[in-house]
Amino acid sequence: MKYLLKSQWLLLLLFICLSSCTTSNKPDAASEVARWEQQAARITIMRDDFGVPHIYGKTDADAVFGLLYAQCEDDFNRVERNYLWATGRLAEVEGEEQLYSDLRAKLYMTEEEAKAEYERSPEWLKVLCQAFADGINYYLHTHPEVKPKLLTRFEPWMPMYFSEGSIGGDIESVSTKGIKAFYEEDKSLGLNSAGHGLVQPALLEEPKGSNGFAISGKHTASGDAMLLINPHTSFFFRGEVHAVSEEGLNAYGAVTWGQFFIYQGFNEKTGWMHTSAYADVIDEFEETIVKQDGKLFYRYGEELRPVQTKEVTLAYKEGDALKEKTFTTYHTHHGPITHKNGDKWVATALMWKPVEALTQSYTRTKKTNLKEFNEMMEMRTNSSNATVYADADGNIAYYHGNFFPKRDTAFDYSKPVDGSNPKTDWNGLHTLDETIRIINPPNGWIQNCNSTPFTAAAEYSPKKEDYPVYMAPSPENFRGVHAIRLLEKAENLTLDKLIDLAYDPYLPGFEVLIPGLVKAYDNQKPNDPKLKAAIEVMRTWDYAVSKESVAMSLAHFYATNLLRDGSAPKGHVMERFDYYANKAPETERLEIFSKTIAELEKDFGKWNTPWGEINRFQRLTGDIKQPFNDAAPSIPVGMASGNWGALASYGANRYDTKRLYGTSGNSFVAVVQFGDKVKAKTILAGGQSGDPKSPHFNDQAQRYADVQFKDVAYYREDVERRAKARYTPGQRVSE
C-alpha cells in the first residue's frame, strides 16, 4: 500500500512537471496582451484626408507593428487570403479546387522549413517578424467582431513566404495544372506553345507588369531627378502607406497586403520602382528516374542519386466538412518535381532564399544614395523584378533583374534541359556588375515597360551581344515604343507634366493595325454603307483613346476579335499586328471588322458607341473577386489596354455583362521629385479601404478616371495638417 502511494506521488510529480513544461511553451494571454498594449502606446497612426495611414513609431519594429495593424483596418480579408495562399492552406477555406495551389506552396516551403528560416534570421529581422505578427494579432484582439476565415493567429515565421516582394512572384509561374496531372494521375500535359511547362499568359490577357521612368535633372523644370512609379496589377492589390521610425525609416508607397516593407515607393533620398523583367530565372530540369529495389533514384552523370521523398497532408473544405489528402512529394537537387514531360519527371528550379530576400526587401527602403543602393542590390535576391531608380543626388539607374544563375549557353534554358547532364546545372550567380545595368546615361532618362532593356536608354542602352540570352529574352512591346517617343521629346518636366506623359492617350499599336484595315477597304471597295461610315471614322482617327472616341470602341473590339479569331501565325502582339496590317487576307480584315460592327450594334444598340459608354470603373463590394452589374452605377474611363500601347494600362473585360469593367492595370501610381525636399503625387484605384461602409472605399474612383492625382503628405507637418484621425493601435476610430 505504501508502495502504491509512493508510485502515485511520483506520477503526480511527473504530471505536474510535464504540465509546467507544456504551459511554459505557450504565450501567457494576459502578458501577451500587456506587451502588445505597451508597444501600441509607442505608435501613432494618422489618417489623412484620403485615409492613407501614416505610422510613426519609436523603432522600426513599432512602425512594422503599426503598419500591419493599419493594413488590417483597411482590408484584413486580403491580408488573410494572401497568407492562406502562400502557406498552402487556401483549400481549407475555398475548397478542393485550391488543393494544388496549396501543394505547390508546400513543394517549395513547408511550415517546418519556414520556421527554420525564421530561426536562422538575424536578430533584428526576427524582431521585425515578431512585430508583424503582433500587429495583426493585436488587431484581431481589439476587433472581436472580425471573424477570420481560418487564421485566428499569425506567427513570426509567416513573412518568410513573402520575402521577395511580389505576392506570388516566381512561384506563380509553376503550373498547378501540371502539379495536379502528375501528383493526381501520373500524367504528362506535354509542352505548351512556348515549348516549356511553365504558366504561359493568354495572348489577350492584360499584361501583368509595370512602367517605370527615371528622369535626370537635365529634363526637369526644377533640375531634380524624377521617378514614375506605375505598377500594373490587379485593382485593390496594394494599399498606400507611410511608415516612419526614429531609427531612420521614412518610406512611402505601395505595400502588398500583409507585407511589412514598402514594395514600390520612396524615402526622402531614394525611390525604387519594380517592373517585371521577364528574365529567364526559372528553369526546368528533366530527370531520368530509375527504380531499384523499390526505391527511386535519378540519374546524374555516372551516378544514381536517391530521390528525396516527403509526405505532405493537406486539408480541404468539402461542404461543411474538412477532409484530408496525403501526397508523397519528390525532390532532386534541382528542386521539387512539379510535372512530367512524356516519361521524364521535371524539377522546377527557382530562387528560394527567404531570409536573404526579406533582408534585401526591407533594407532597400532605408537606403539614402546610389552607393548604398548598389550594395543592397549585391544581395541578388530580387529575382522576379527589374528596378528603376532615382535619387536626391540626381542619379538615375536601372537594374534588369537581380538574380541570375550562371548557365552554360550551349543549352537553351527557355526549354526544359536534361537534368542528368551535370553541365546543365546552375553554377553560382552572376555578380551585380555582370548583370544588365544602366547608370546615369547621357540621354538623361531610362524607361522600362516590361520590354527589352536594349532600348531602355535610347542609344545609350546596353548592347544585346554583351549578355547571355537568358538575361533579357523579352522583345520590344508597344508600351516601350510609346515611352521612348515621349521621353525623347520630354523637357522641363514637372510632376503634373510627368503625369500627362504617363497618361498620354496615343496608342501606337493602332498606328500599325488600322491603316491595314483602311487599305483593305479601299482596295476591295465593298458596297456596304454602314461599313463605309465606320471605315471613315477609322480613317480620320488620331489613334488616341478618350471617353468620347467611337474609333476607340471599334478598334478595341476589332483588335480583340483579330487576336482571338484571326489567321496570324504564333507570335507576340506586335508581330501579329504587323501580320494583320500587311499580310492577312484583305477579306479577312473586312469580315472581322464587319463582325465587330455587328457586335457593337447587338450589345449597345449602335455601332458608333463612344468608348466611355463601354469602358467602365465599378466597385460595388469589398470582395476579392468583384461582382459587376450593368444596372448599377459605374464611371466612364478614357483609358485602354496596355496591349495596344497604352502607358496607362486599363485591363477591362466582360463579366456576364455587356459593358467592360476594369480589374487590372494602373492601380497605385506615383510621380516623385527629389531634391532638397521630396515631393510626390499619387492616385489609387477606388480608394484605400476595402470596406464599402468606409468613406475611403471609393473616394478616389472619380479622381482615378479623371487622372486627378492627390498631393502626398510626406513630412510630419504636412501629415499633421491633413490628418483627419489620430490614434494608437487599439483605439476605436471613426472618420
Give the pLDDT confidence of 519-577 residue by residue, as tens digits.
Answer: 999 999 999 999 999 999 999 999 999 999 999 999 999 999 999 999 999 889 999 99
Please give the average per-residue pLDDT across 686-696, as a whole number. Answer: 97
* Nearest one of 450, 455, 387, 398 to 210, comparing CA atoms: 450
Classify residue 335: in a domain, yes or no.
Answer: yes
User: Which of 615, 593, 594 has its CA nearest to residue 604?
Assistant: 615
CA distance 205 to 201: 7
Catalytic residue numbers, as ranges: 210
The DSSP symbol for 291 reads: E
Biggest CA pair distance of the chain: 114
- For range 320-336, the mean pLDDT: 97
In a domain, 209, yes or no: no
pLDDT over 90 percentage in the chain: 90
Q: pLDDT digit string (tens) for 84-139?
A: 999 999 999 999 999 999 999 999 999 999 999 999 999 999 999 999 999 999 99
Element (H, E) at 161: none
Which range of 11-15, 27-31, 723-727 scores highest in mean pLDDT? It is 723-727
Could you count the other beta carbons within 10 Å of the beta carbon of residue 291? 9
Report the C-alpha dihedral over residues 393, 394, 400, 403, rounded to 10 degrees. 0
Give the mean model confidence (pLDDT) for residues 63-67. 98
pLDDT over 60 at 309, yes or no: yes
Q: How far is residue 476 from each of residues 462, 481, 482, 583, 645, measured CA to CA in Å? A: 14, 7, 11, 21, 11
Residue 340 placed within a domain? yes
Say if residue 53's pLDDT is above 90.
Answer: yes
Average pLDDT score over residue span 52-68: 98
User: Tens digits of per-residue pLDDT, 579-589?
Assistant: 999 999 999 99
pLDDT at 207: 80
Any binding-site annotation on 280?
A: yes
Residue with cell 530540369: 285
User: What is the pLDDT, as a whole number, of residue 202?
Assistant: 82
pLDDT of 666 higher than 70: yes
Please tell me the distance from the alpha carbon of residue 639 to that of residue 509, in angstroms, as a whole number: 14
- Residue range 475-502, pLDDT digits in tens: 999 999 999 999 999 999 999 999 999 9
Split at pLDDT 50, 70, 90, the class of 165 is low
What per-residue confidence (pLDDT) applies to 201?
A: 82
Classify the phi-psi angles of 525: left when phi > 0, otherwise alpha if psi is within -120 to 50, otherwise beta: left
pLDDT attached to residue 500: 98
Residue 25 has pLDDT above 60, yes or no: no
Eight-class DSSP state of 715: S
Q: Please, what is the end-to-end C-alpha distance for the chain in angstroms? A: 73
pLDDT value at residue 9: 42
Q: What is the pLDDT of residues 251-270, one digit of tens each?
A: 999 999 999 999 999 999 99
Q: Is residue 169 part of a domain?
A: no
Categorize the per-residue pLDDT at 169 as very low, low, confident or very high, splitting at 50, 70 and 90.
Answer: confident
Asked whether the predicted pLDDT for residue 3 surpasses 50, the reply is no
Rounded to two decimals, the pTM is: 0.94
Residue 616 pLDDT: 98
CA 222 to the chain's CA centroid = 32
Query: Do strands 335-341 and 417-418 pair parallel, antiparallel, or not at all (unpaired)?
Result: unpaired
Residue 2: pLDDT over 80: no
CA distance 94 to 318: 9
Is the model's pLDDT at 733 over the cut of 70? Answer: no
Cell numbers placing 460: 545609350
For residue 182, being part of any structural domain is answered with no
Q: What is the pLDDT of residues 428-467, one digit of tens each?
A: 999 999 999 999 999 999 999 999 999 999 999 999 999 9
Dist. CA 341–CA 129, nearest whole Å? 40
pLDDT digits (tens, 9 = 90+) for 353-395: 999 999 999 999 999 999 999 999 999 999 989 999 999 999 9
Mean pLDDT to the nearest integer, 403-411: 97
CATH of the domain at 315: 2.30.120.10
Is residue 662 in some structural domain?
no
- 705 close to 617: Cβ distance less than 8 angstroms: yes
State mean pLDDT over 238-248.
Answer: 97
Q: Which of 381, 365, 383 is nearest to 373 (CA)?
A: 365
- Its domain, for residue 298, covers 283-349
Residue 735's pLDDT is 54
Is residue 432 within 8 Å of residue 378, measured between CB atoms? yes
Contacts of 99 (CB under 8 A, 6+ apart): 91, 180, 314, 316, 325
The number of distinct structural domains making up the chain is: 1
Query: Is residue 290 situated within a structural domain?
Result: yes
User: DSSP secondary-structure letter at 506?
Assistant: B
Tell whether 152 is covered by a domain.
no
Note the pLDDT of residue 26: 55
pLDDT value at residue 193 = 84
* Secondary structure (3-state) at 53: strand
